[in-house]
Structure 1
Amino acid sequence: MTEEKNIDKNDGKNYECDLSIRWSKIDASILPFDELDKEIMCFLRYNARMSNAEIAKMLNTSEATVRRRINELVRKKIITGFSALVDLHSIENSIKVCIRIDTEAEKLDEIAEDIANEPDVLSLYRRRGQNQLLLQGLFLNLEAIQEFEDKLATKPGVIKYDTMIVSKAFKKDPWVGI
């Protein structure tokens, strides 16, 4: 295992990259990129606005190498985009919920397609081996949750659902800040 590069918000030295930690448990020879690519991804994950020149300086390589590596990671669809992480909770005091939805087998895909289009739904997954969907949602208030549940209860093929309201995050979702 190689020594991990750390990035600090101020000087680039004290941030431990979650990707490096995750991928340190995998045989590096089976990953579709090398250590330099991984380090570039870590810097971009920490701050997608970081310039190629800044990354190159931190990694002691050329700006052209960083640019070429990023372009190749995008071409391979390993990097799928660059985003700003917005802490929605600091703006709107949202309520995050997790909902388990039991469905009739033949209606599962249709229900999932319909629910996935709801603006308050952050993510939607099928549970393996079950006719269940797992939903994460972000709602502005309790009334919005109730309206969503009322619509859910009337969908043909929904057998039952269980809504869990998140009261405290011990590890926040970086995409929404909750």
Structure 2
Amino acid sequence: MEEKDDGFLDQIDRQILQFLRQDGRMPYTNIAEALNLAESTVRKRVNRLLEEGILKIVGVINPLRVGRFALAIVGINITGANLSQVLAELNKLPEVRYIAVCAGTYDLILEVAVPDTESLFVFLTETLRSIPGVTGSDTSLVMKVCKERYEWEAAANNDQSAVE
């Protein structure tokens, strides 16, 4: 096995990841053939990448194609002692697609997808306000998504310039 040159990934790992970036369902036999490896080698490496949390393969659903026509970015402020409780409540909400704990103006940033602006109004004025610990919010309605990426190039030798 090739020695890992950046502490996490060796060249073969990065090549496998490149194929999976193009098609997360690509058969291991296709990857193995392209890289001149045994299928079992590719399978073992992918399993290791999955187990170590380096790789996650998911289907990404376009909310606009499934009736979620109103997208919003919501900045939330909370009382300090309630972070874990607020996160637990937000994680239960199907409208919330993304949650990030932040330093700065907001304690949390959410991405919310709902069927229409009336549903967004209900989410903001009833659902969100009913969560203990939420002290305020600021909402930006997404008018158009201009770039949305879920993959990036794995850096070699801790070279952060390869991270997009």
Report the TM-score range of the alignment, normalised by the length of the smaller protein.
Answer: 0.7 to 0.9
- Indicate how the Cα distance of structure 1 residues 112 and 60 shifts in structure 2: closer, same or farther if over 3 A, else same: same
- Indicate how the Cα distance of structure 1 residues 88 and 70 shifts in structure 2: closer, same or farther if over 3 A, else same: same
1:105/1:131 contact within 8 Å kept = no
In 2, the alpha carbon distance for the partners of 1:76 and 1:68 equals 12
What runs of 5+ residues in structure 2 fail to find an aligned partner? 152-164
2:26 matches 1:50? yes
Which residue identity does 1:150 align to in structure 2? T
CA RMSD of aligned residues (A): 2.4
2:68/2:114 contact within 8 Å kept = no
Q: State which of 65, 69, 78 in structure 2 corresponds to 1:90.
A: 65
In 2, the alpha carbon distance for the partners of 1:167 and 1:129 equals 24
Higher RCO by CA contacts (8 Å cutoff, separation 6 or greater) = 2
Deviation at 1:88, TM superposition (A): 2.7
Deviation at 1:163, TM superposition (A): 0.6
The aligned counterpart of 2:47 is 71
Which residue identity does 2:146 align to in structure 1? F
The aligned counterpart of 2:9 is 33
* Count of paired positions: 147
In 1, the alpha carbon distance for the partners of 2:106 and 2:116 equals 29
Which residue identity does 2:102 align to in structure 1? R
Which residue identity does 1:122 align to in structure 2? R
The aligned counterpart of 1:159 is 135
- Indicate how the Cα distance of structure 1 residues 115 and 68 shifts in structure 2: closer, same or farther if over 3 A, else same: closer
Q: Work out the percentage of aligned pairs sharing the same amino acid.
A: 26
1:108/1:131 contact within 8 Å kept = no
Which residue identity does 1:45 align to in structure 2? R
The aligned counterpart of 1:140 is 115
Which residue identity does 1:145 align to in structure 2? L
TM-score if structure 2 supplies the norm length? 0.76
In 2, the alpha carbon distance for the partners of 1:145 and 1:117 equals 16
Deviation at 1:125, TM superposition (A): 1.7
Deviation at 1:53, TM superposition (A): 1.2
